[in-house]
Amino acid sequence: MASIEFKRVEKRYADNPPTVPGLDLHIRDGEFMVLVGPSGCGKSTTLRMIAGLESVTSGELWIGDRLVNELQPAARDVAMVFQNYALYPHMTVFDNMAFGLRVRKQPASLIKSKVEQAADTLGLADLLARKPGQLSGGQCQRVALGRAIVRDPQVFLFDEPLSNLDAELRVQMRGNIGRLHREFATTSVYVTHDQVEAMTLGSRIAILNRGELMQVGTPMELYNDPDNVFVAGFMGSPPMNIVPVQNRGAGLKNALLDLPRADLGGLAGELLLGIRPEKLHPAAGSPDHWPRLRAKVEMVETLGAEMLVHLGDGSERMIARLPGLQLLTPGQTLELALDPDAIYLFDRHSRQRIRTVQPVAVAEAVPCT
């Protein structure tokens, strides 16, 4: 087991702008780090640099106490699970799992016991004689996991391992991977573009955008305390409502909202306000001092226990996650209350969080209507 440290690591292909421009990231020993971000954000490249499949253009990459920039993949003692499983189609499940051990010329008896043990853990014991072509997607993925764990490496690397599976299997495999990590407690780096996977699996999550690290933290830190609009918008489904507002000195205002005075000091007039859909509550039953908004219902997505209400008025749109009890029809006007503790302000230009001020003067809040 080992920690992983990126020190100003840059990856650049030819003369193009860098894919990863100077990454600083510390992955702790035994941690399950999820790299998440939209496609093209450099997360896979970052993972492949750890594996040694991509070279590091500049900076330092450490695994444990070794600088691995120039080290061959074989020497890094990492195991990787690929998106397409990368199973050898001409070998049986057993041979696939034994591959790494055979490369290392382990004695046959040891290989056998290790592979069988891993197969037991993953429920593959009956499939050892089959070839990948005869397996389902989930089974293939388990073989790929098995191939990684028999080697007992310092680091596990996962490159979107679940993206080829259907939704149900994905949930199941997510459980498996989580269980394995708890069992082996091996340092793991997991790449995904799916924030649900990130939230459920990660000890910590690193969110990347265009090669830049946006924020690192535990899932709840990122969810509750986003550093910027990108993180706020990336985590959660549906994402946080982000709407532009005017700072009128005496309050924040836009087409939907009219929040009472807040001490906004010298902040620019144009700001972004964020609030998660679940922090919009039906006005009835909410504390009186919570600010209100009235908006037209544009569309309702009923999910059973809850519903997503799309509110819109011309240019501004918001989504509210409400209990699925009431009957709403498009066109109807709805009054909602905003949880004042869950309102975030962002700079409109830097798109960074403004932490210096409390957006709503709660004590003095006055209902809009």
Partner 1 sequence: MHLIQRALALWLCLCAVQAVAQEELLLWHGYRGAERQALEQLLDDYNRSQSQVRVRALAVPFGSYADKLSAALPRGQGPDLFIFAHDRIGGWASAGHSIAPIDDFVRPQVLERFPDNLLGAMRYQGSLYGLPFNFKSTALIYNRALIDSPPATTAEMIAQARAHTDRQHGRFGLAYSYTEPFFHGALMNGFGSGPFDAQNRLALDSDTNVRSVQLLTEWVRTDGVLPEEPNSTLVTNLFNQGRAAMVISGPWMLGEIDPQIDYAVAPLPRLSASGTPLAPWVAVEGLFLSPWSDSKEAAYRLMEYLTARESAEQMAIAGGQLPANLGAFEHPQIASNDVAMAFRQQLETAVPIPNLPEMTLLWKPLENVLKKVVKGAAQPAAAMQRLQRDLQRDIAALQASQSRDAGPAQLPAWLWGLGLFLLLAAVTALLKLRRRIAATWRHNRTAYLYILPAMLGMLLLVFFPLLYGLLLSFTDTTLLNENTPLASRWLGLDNYVGILGDWNLWYGAGAERSINFDNFYWTLLVTVCWTASNVLLAVGLALLLALALNKPIFGRAWFRVLLILPWAIPNYITALVWKGMFHPQFGVINQALQIFGIAPVAWFDSVGASFFTGLVTNVWLSIPFMMVVILGGLQSIPRELYEAARVEGAGRWFQFREITLPLLKPVLIPAIILSVVWTFNMFNVIYLVSDGAPAGANDILITKAFRIGFEKYQYAYAAAYSMVILALLFCYALWQTRISRTMEAAR
Q: Are 2 and 63 in contact (CB under 8 A)?
A: yes
Q: Which is nearer to partner 1, 91 or 308 (CB)?
A: 91
d(CA 141, CA 62): 28
Q: Which is nearer to partner 1, 132 or 277 (CB)?
A: 132
- Reading the block at residue 141, the tokens are 């993925």
Q: Which is nearer to partner 1, 155 or 262 (CB)?
A: 155
d(CA 148, CA 320): 43
Provide, rounded to whole angstroms, the least separation between the CB of residue 146 and partner 1: 13
Q: Which is nearer to partner 1, 142 or 310 (CB)?
A: 142
d(CA 267, CA 45): 38
Q: Are strands 212-217 and 204-209 parallel, antiparallel or unpaired?
A: antiparallel
- Helices (H), ranges, 75-166: 93-103, 108-122, 137-150
List C-alpha distances in Å: 213 to 46, 97, 169, 181, 207: 11, 35, 30, 24, 6
Provide, rounded to whole angstroms, the least separation between the CB of residue 157 and partner 1: 8
Provide, rounded to whole angstroms, the least separation between the CB of residue 90 and partner 1: 4
In DSSP terms, which residues pair with 33 in a beta bridge?
189, 204
Q: Which is nearer to partner 1, 101 or 283 (CB)?
A: 101
Provide, rounded to whole angstroms, the least separation between the CB of residue 96 and partner 1: 9
DSSP state of 281: E
Q: Which is nearer to partner 1, 91 or 169 (CB)?
A: 91
Provide, rounded to whole angstroms, the least separation between the CB of residue 57 and partner 1: 18
List C-alpha distances in Å: 141 to 87, 103, 153, 176, 184: 9, 21, 18, 11, 18
In DSSP terms, which residues pair with 63 in a beta bridge?
4, 66
Provide, rounded to whole angstroms, the least separation between the CB of residue 79 and partner 1: 7
Nearest Cα to Cα of residue 57 among 45, 74, 65: 45
Give the gyration radius of the chain's Cα atoms: 25
Q: Which is nearer to partner 1, 75 or 299 (CB)?
A: 75
Provide, rounded to whole angstroms, the least separation between the CB of residue 102 and partner 1: 8
Provide, rounded to whole angstroms, the least separation between the CB of residue 101 and partner 1: 9
Q: Which is nearer to partner 1, 90 or 248 (CB)?
A: 90
Q: Are 270 and 260 in contact (CB under 8 A)?
A: no
Q: Which is nearer to partner 1, 91 or 300 (CB)?
A: 91
Q: Which residues bind partner 1 (CB under 8 A)?
A: 51-53, 72-75, 78-80, 82-84, 86, 88-91, 99-100, 103-104, 131, 133, 147, 151, 157
3-state helix, strand, coil in the chain (%, to 5): 30, 30, 40
Kind and range of the H or E element at 191?
strand 187-192
Provide, rounded to whole angstroms, the least separation between the CB of residue 116 and partner 1: 19
